[in-house]
Structure 1
Amino acid sequence: MSTSIVIADDHPLMLRGLSDFLKSKGFNIVGSATDGNSAYNLIVKLKPEIAILDIRMPHLTGLEIAEICKKNQLNTKIVLITFDKEEELYDKAKEFNVYGYILKEFAVEEIETCIEHVLKNEPYFSQEIAQYLNKNPEKSPDKIHLLTKSELKIVKLISENKTSQNIADELSISVRTVDKHRSNIVSKLKLDNKPTSLSIWANLNKQHIQL
């Protein structure tokens, strides 16, 4: 069966455009909404695999929905779309276990790739977001020297939004070996075990990765 998706955006043209595009790619759009309350009710009722939500909507924002879903242990994976590049919003997205964070101007270009990552439990964040946040000097890593050359290669590829399968194919190793490397990297960097943590760290620190 095709992936079940709920979409919510208070801009009708954006909502329709994204919905039509995903339907053309074979995804199952089970519901759509123009405000946060309706979107959350659809998530509860329909239990979609993925919910693609505008960050700023009436009644409940996309972030507030993500927070409630986390609190209520709902299994729907949240992808946020936004025009905003505010670091505070990005940090909140990490806190609420958001799986995808895409800028609206690149939504149609990136959403299919984002969904592919999310379905493999691998988060996806617009490269433009990472490049913007990389300008923050406080984001420079303090434990990168702990990583081996092999681990640095893995981190670099993660920062390019490569999946574990992509990385395995590129480095001619097994997916199991990639996952073991990922686990070791998370441990060395003292990151939490949320699926998004390593991807976010890699994106924020990609400019410091030297092979």
Structure 2
Amino acid sequence: MSDNKDISVLIVDDNDMTRETLRVILRHDGYNVVGEAHDGDSALEAATRLKPDIILLDVVMPKVSGIEALKSIRMIMQDVFVLMVTANKDQDTVSEVVKSGISGYIIKPFNAKKVLDTVQAVALKVRAKRQ
């Protein structure tokens, strides 16, 4: 296990199992998972309240999509690092989320190594920004 407790993470996904899997992977590697949200509306509320370093944000969710939630989050928190999580490999979707100012993305289905490699790369940016 790595010492990543200085990095706070918010997990946003409408699928309970996906949130649980991400939580277990991240906590096992020492990340401080400060909260979870199941849709875009609760993502904005949680991000505002918890002020995480990194948000893992599902693209496809009911009511408010991850892309719409990202736009709202960006209005309030310009500097937060966001990783989009998606099963959609469609070039238009990938292009749209990249243009939205994300720090990276994780394609579903994912494995622990892919998640940790992607989050670790962003964690390095978080730490560099603090210095």
TM-score (norm 2): 0.84
Could you tell me how far 1:98 is from its partner in structure 2?
A: 0.6
Return the offset for 1:48: 0.2
- 2:55 alignment partner in structure 1: 51
1:5, 1:52 within 8 Å by CA — same for their partners in 2?
A: yes
Aligned with 1:43: secondary structure? helix
Residue pair 1:81, 1:107 contacting (<8 A) in 2 also: no
Larger strand share, 1 or 2: 2
Indicate which of 3, 24, 27 corresponds to 1:23. 27
Residue 121 of structure 1 deviates from its aligned partner by 3.2
Aligned to 1:40: 44
Matched, 1:84 2:88: yes
Q: For 2:109, what is the secondary structure of its paired residue? A: helix
Question: 5+ unaligned residues in a row in structure 2: which ranges?
Answer: 127-131
Q: How much has 1:71 moved relative to structure 2?
A: 3.2
Q: Counterpart amino acid of 2:68?
A: E
Q: Number of residue pairs matched? A: 122
> Any idea what SS the aligned residue of 1:106 has?
coil
CA positional deviation for 1:8: 1.1
Identify which of structures 1 and 2 has the higher relative contact order when contacts are C-alpha pairs closer than 8 Å and 6+ apart: 2
Select which of 10, 13, 28 maps to 2:17.
13
Inter-partner Cα distance in structure 1 for 2:89 and 2:42? 25
**Identity of matched residues, %:** 27
Q: Who wins on radius of gyration, i.e. which is larger?
A: 1
Q: What does the per-residue CA deviation read over 1:30-72, in whole Å, with 9 as the maximum and x for residues that have no partner?
A: 0001111111110011110000011111222111122223333
Please give the root-mean-square deviation of Cα atoms over the aligned residues, in Å: 1.7
TM-score, normalised on structure 1?
A: 0.54
Q: Secondary structure at the match of 1:93?
A: helix
Counterpart code for 2:6 = S
- Per residue, is there more helix in 1 or in 2? 1
Give ranges in structure 1 of 5+ residues lacking alignment. Answer: 123-211
Three-state SS of the structure 2 residue aligned to 1:105 is: coil
